[in-house]
A and B are shown apart, each in its own frame.
Chain A
Amino acid sequence: MKTLLKIAWRNIWRNTTRSLVVVISLAIGIWATVIILAVSDSLHMEALKDGIEYKYGHIQIQNPDFIKNEKLTITIPNGERILKEIRTDDEVKAATARTEVSGIIASAGNSSNVILIGILPGAEEKTTMLKSRLATGEYLSQKVRNPIILGERLAKKLNVKPGNKVVLGFEGKSGELISSTFRITGLYNATQTRDEEMLVYADLYDVTKLAGIEGQYNKIVIKLKEPEQLATYLAFLQSKFSQPDVLVQDWRQANPELELISDMIYQMDIIMTIIVLIALAFGIVNTMLMSILERYKELGILMAIGMNRRRVFTMIVVETTYLSILGGAVGMLIGFVTVSILSYNGINLSLFSEALSGWGFSDVVYPTLEPRVYVLITVLVILTAVLTSIYPAVKALMLKPNEAISKQN
């Protein structure tokens, strides 16, 4: 075996240019895969973080009827008690409650459709990072009556700024139109354009008071200490509140669009990787077939003097494996260095900012890739190379020694 390894190693350097071309192509392919996966992985993580950290938390509780018909009055039975109980659980980092209702916001010059979200200032900051997105002004300040915060895009559309008043209209308890004046205390920005244009945040107390449903919630949002405990704790809550008018869901179930983005990115990653592996496979087949054709006579001699088919097959597979390991190692190394630099400096994608914000991605991406993905790519590359080398190796085995020997070079 040692001799086979030695011959295979020397064979790949018989045509240095060709071997280097293969190694470089492999390296570039792997480098590109690493970068693409790192960028998409980071976008993916950011979309999840945006969803979990800023909006949905890990677990949501709501009345199942509220999903079908988002009415302010469809609340969680005993919502206050449930919230209180959940906050005492060890697994829970924080929990908050919300009301949600569609409405119309109007300024002196313009109006827009919005979703009014009533939040519990104090509890919301512990559960989500909404407050960290405040770009101008103050959070829901208690110094003013009916404080409200808007997205910057909506404020621009309405031509308002902190300190201005807006009128909010929404459907009340009995279907009547409730209209009230709110004062803008701050403006926030969001990665998703739609959020910045549609979501306005007010104090839950003010909203429920206006609607006449004080002490009632449409949603309870829970953030866990350890996200890994999600499945266990979700099952616990689902069992604890197994009643028809209480629905306990994790972020995936409660927000299918987030899962859709996850799935989409995951599938794109798979497609990209498969494309690179296919290109790589064709490159290897081409190179190894060339190499075998060039050495047709020599392989015939080897078989004539007693090198059996198993050894010839192994030698060719080993040659391919050497090339792929070299290309893989170089590709991984430059991929790792590139990702490390980019994860520090970021990639500015502001050119595509409109499209990215539609999916909840920010303008600057800081790519990172988990070590297991590097390992996975390496294994896939080597596996592809070895599997691909089977065809040229089998072709080599089909040669007849006497014909190969009599072949003129």
Chain B
Amino acid sequence: MNVIETKDVSKIYNPDTIPVYALNKVNLNFEKGEFTAIVGPSGSGKTTLLNVIGGLDDASNGSVMIDGSDILKLSGGKLIDFRLRHIGFVFQAYNLIPVLSAKENIEFIMLLQNWPTKKREDRTKEMLEAVGLKDKSGSKPSQLSGGQQQRVAVARALASKPRFVLADEPTANLDSKSAENLLDIMLKLNLEEHITFIFSTHDPRVIKRARRVITLEDGKVVSDIQQNTEQELARQ
């Protein structure tokens, strides 16, 4: 079952002068529970594709269908609400709210969604445990390492149980140990919570563990490969 469907999505800069195609007729389907890496050289359109799918950027042409609705046609307020209800974001630079603690950052989206207090607190606790930061719940982002901050960001993205999570180079700023650790957590949550993960990356470790790898070049999809992850290989 498709969660996301992009149809002929193009993003063109300077259409009237010298057109630059950030995305060029991208047609992709994403199913529930996927763990997909979008790869490609810098400037190939990875971040733009994630931004368009997440409703953070407009497309020049095409449509992005999520549950039968074209999110490119949603107005500002409805789009923000859509993002709040359905999408979890993980950014390269963590981007936590600096004045809130790890616990408060994780529960922030649930607060925006008006979750009941008890349910919210239980879920926050569960997520803190899932990302291994139970003892850091009261720490502010500035008191956490990069890896810990990114784990909080993943917990924040997943806490409200979105339909899918978009992660833009989530391991780019992490050392190998932290990156491996984060991937373990993301895979575990993907399997346990059946949440679709789509992430852009250059990191071979991440690519190796993705189940599907989409390669972009000059805004075009040049390959779309299903692969067995190390875990599945090990399981087999």
State the A residues within 8 Å of B (CB). 3, 6-7, 10-11, 14, 297-298, 301-309, 311, 401-402, 405-406, 409
The docked-state distance in angstroms from the alpha carbon of A11 to that of B51 is: 27
- Contacts known (A301-B95, A306-B81, A306-B112); A10 close to B89, Cβ less than 8 A: no
Nearest residue, chain A, Cβ from B112: A306
B204 within 8 A of A: no
Residues of B within 8 A of A309 (CB): 76-77, 80
Q: Which of B76, B91, B99, B104 is A14 in contact with, Cβ under 8 Å?
A: B99
Q: Evaluate contact between A306 and B80: CB separation under 8 angstroms.
A: yes
Q: Evaluate contact between B56 and A402: CB separation under 8 angstroms.
A: yes
The docked-state distance in angstroms from the alpha carbon of A254 to that of B219 is: 87
Residues of A within 8 A of B54 (CB): 304
Q: Which of A14, A307, A401 is B112 in contact with, Cβ under 8 Å?
A: A307
Q: Evaluate contact between B95 and A405: CB separation under 8 angstroms.
A: yes
The docked-state distance in angstroms from the alpha carbon of A307 to that of B11 is: 26
The docked-state distance in angstroms from the alpha carbon of A297 to that of B93 is: 11
Further 11 A-B residue pairs, CB within 8 A, beyond A306-B112, A307-B80? A6-B104, A7-B99, A11-B99, A298-B95, A301-B97, A304-B54, A305-B109, A306-B80, A306-B85, A309-B80, A406-B47
B83 within 8 A of A: yes
Nearest residue, chain A, Cβ from B54: A304
Pick from A301, A303, A306, A405 the residue with the most CB of B within 10 Å.
Answer: A306
The docked-state distance in angstroms from the alpha carbon of A302 to that of B112 is: 11
Chain A interface, >50% SS class: helix
Q: List 8 A-B contacts (CB under 8 A).
A: A7-B97, A301-B97, A304-B83, A305-B108, A307-B80, A307-B84, A401-B56, A402-B51
Q: Evaluate contact between B57 and A305: CB separation under 8 angstroms.
A: no
B222 within 8 A of A: no
B225 within 8 A of A: no
B111 within 8 A of A: yes
Q: Which of B83, B95, B98, B104 is A306 in contact with, Cβ under 8 Å?
A: B83
1/0 per residue, CB under 8 A from A, across B39-71: the answer is: 000000001000100101100000000000000
The docked-state distance in angstroms from the alpha carbon of A406 to that of B95 is: 11
Chain B interface, >50% SS class: helix
Q: Which of B56, B93, B108 is A3 in contact with, Cβ under 8 Å?
A: B108
The docked-state distance in angstroms from the alpha carbon of A11 to that of B99 is: 7
The smallest C-beta distance from A65 to any residue of chain B, in angstroms, reads 74
Nearest residue, chain B, Cβ from A406: B47
Q: Evaluate contact between B51 and A305: CB separation under 8 angstroms.
A: no
The docked-state distance in angstroms from the alpha carbon of A181 to that of B156 is: 101
- Contacts known (A405-B56, A405-B91); A305 close to B83, Cβ less than 8 A: yes
Residues of B within 8 A of A298 (CB): 95, 97-98
Nearest residue, chain B, Cβ from A13: B99
Residues of A within 8 A of B191 (CB): none
The docked-state distance in angstroms from the alpha carbon of A305 to that of B162 is: 11
The smallest C-beta distance from A48 to any residue of chain B, in angstroms, reads 53
- Contacts known (A402-B51, A405-B91); A306 close to B77, Cβ less than 8 A: no
The docked-state distance in angstroms from the alpha carbon of A309 to that of B93 is: 23
Residues of A within 8 A of B99 (CB): 7, 10-11, 14
Q: Evaluate contact between B97 and A303: CB separation under 8 angstroms.
A: no
The smallest C-beta distance from A401 to any residue of chain B, in angstroms, reads 5
The docked-state distance in angstroms from the alpha carbon of A309 to that of B85 is: 15
B74 within 8 A of A: no
Nearest residue, chain B, Cβ from A303: B80
The docked-state distance in angstroms from the alpha carbon of A170 to that of B97 is: 87
The smallest C-beta distance from A210 to any residue of chain B, in angstroms, reads 86
Q: Evaluate contact between A306 and B109: CB separation under 8 angstroms.
A: yes
